[in-house]
Every structure is written in structure tokens, then in C-alpha cells.
Amino acid sequence: MDGKPRGCATTSKYEAAGTHSITAAYSGDAALAGSTSTAIAQVVSKYSTTTTVISNMNPSTYLQAVTFTATVSPTGPYTLTGRVSFKSGSTTLGTVTLSGGTASYTTSTLTAGTKSITAVYNGDANDAASTSAVLSQIVNKVATTTSLVSAPNPSTFQQTVTFTATVSATGATPTGTVTFRRGLSMQ
């Protein structure tokens, strides 16, 4: 031999993402002893994903059931597995198993106001986690009706009159304060 390094190259496809320790081992020949290289770390990245989220009803009303559906799109050849967490701000509403690239979650517990909804795909062995853009879910207050009766009616001067207000709402129990007014001034 002329003392020049010799070698060969080989390529591999990795079946799992992660860090793999790789060494090269020379078995030697009649004149040369075998040797093994020091290990190198071969980093195999997960495939990226894209997650989107939609609402079946936006705006909605307090106590109304709203279904959020997340769609996770892969860039790799594998079937996506894993779970999707649905969040309102930093609060997790629920976590659902991904099936066929989608996951849906239904809730009727969103309070009135504008909610920042995201879907977070947690990733799997081959596919990276991803978070959807924020969906602004508008949750309106439940409509109420207020009825008023007085007794006695008609009344006489300096007679005590009782006013009774009844506040009702479909599917909800009203709480809070009722203010009685005479004309434009409060009484």
C-alpha cells in the first residue's frame, strides 16, 4: 500500500427521529490491524407539521356547544399519530386523539367574551409538534328578558307598592342586580 487513506461511503435511511451514535469499523487485512472511529452523533430531525383550527359556530353564545376541529398536515411519508390539545389562551380545554389527520373537541363552557383558541399537535415519533394560528372565538352573552309587575296597581297616594322584576334567560340562571327606576332617575 502507498500509505494513503482508503475508505468507502455508505448511506442509511433512519426509521426514527432522534440522535443516533455512528461509528466506522475497519476490520483490517493481512498487513493492517483493524480500528474503530470515535462515535459521532447523527441528528435525524422529525418531519415538520402544520396545524389549523376552525370553529363550527363563530360567533357563539354562552352555554352553546361549539365544536373546534384541528387539521394537522404532515410533510413526511408517515401516518400522523398523537394527540391535539385545544386551548383557550393558556388554559387547556381538552385533548383529543388525532384520527385521519383531524381531531375535534366540543365544549359549552366558554364564558362570554373573545377567546383566543389554538390547537396544539403534540407530535409523534416521526412528526414534530405544531401550533395553529390563534382563532378569535366570539362568545356572546345569553339574551335575557325582564318583566315588571306592581301590586297594587292602581295605588293611592302614600300607599306602599311592591315592584317585582323577573329576569329569565334560555338555558341559564340569571344572577346579578336589578335596579328599579322612576322615569329617568333611580329610586
18-50 per-position pLDDT tens digit: 888 889 999 999 999 999 999 999 888 999 999
Residue intervals of the chain classified under CATH 2.60.40.10 are 49-140
pLDDT of 1 > 70? The answer is: no
What pLDDT is recorded for position 96?
98
Question: Assign residue 2 a region: left if phi > 0, alpha if psi is -120 to 50, beta otherwise?
Answer: alpha
* Check whether domain 49-140 has CATH 3.40.190.10, yes or no: no
Render pLDDT for 176-186 as a digit per residue (tens, 0 to 9). 999 998 886 55
Could you give the dihedral angle defined by the CA atoms of residues 131, 103, 87 and 61, in that order, rounded to the nearest 10 degrees? Answer: 130
